[in-house]
Amino acid sequence: MFFNTYVFQAGLVSLLFHKFKGTIIVSAVYLALSIAFHVWVLNLRWQNSNSFVWNDGLQALFVFQRLVAVFYYYFYKRTALCLGDPRFYEDSLWLRQEFIRVQK
């Protein structure tokens, strides 16, 4: 959705990064935890496919990944609602003031 905004098309990507850096960071952490969890599960199942594979470290990673998922979904929905604001899709005084503020 970032690519469809006037802010992105005008080349003010730093403004989008500044405004949505929390969402970007939480998304990257959630992606890394999800990849780590699934790689670990696949490795354990690949080594022993006929038994139930679940150890304490895997359970801890699973719980931590699910806790981060709560923040991921919150930030994701908040960003989607924020990007629905028409100010991101047209030139305005607000956009010019935000750009000046971010550059300082």
Distance CA 12, CA 65 (A): 33
> How far is it, in rounded angstroms, from Cα 5 to Cα 19?
13
- Going from N- to C-terminal start, the domains of the chain cover 2-103
Give the up-direction half-sphere exposure of residue 81: CA atoms within 13 A in the CB hemisphere. Answer: 6
More confident residue, 62 or 99: 62
pLDDT digits (tens, 9 = 90+) for 32-84: 999 999 999 999 988 887 888 889 999 999 999 999 999 999 999 998 888 78
Query: In this model, does residue 28 exceed pLDDT 70?
Result: yes
User: Residue 2 has which token pair?
Assistant: 């970032």
Q: Answer left, alpha or beta for residue 11, where phi above 0 means left and psi between -120 and 50 means alpha.
A: left
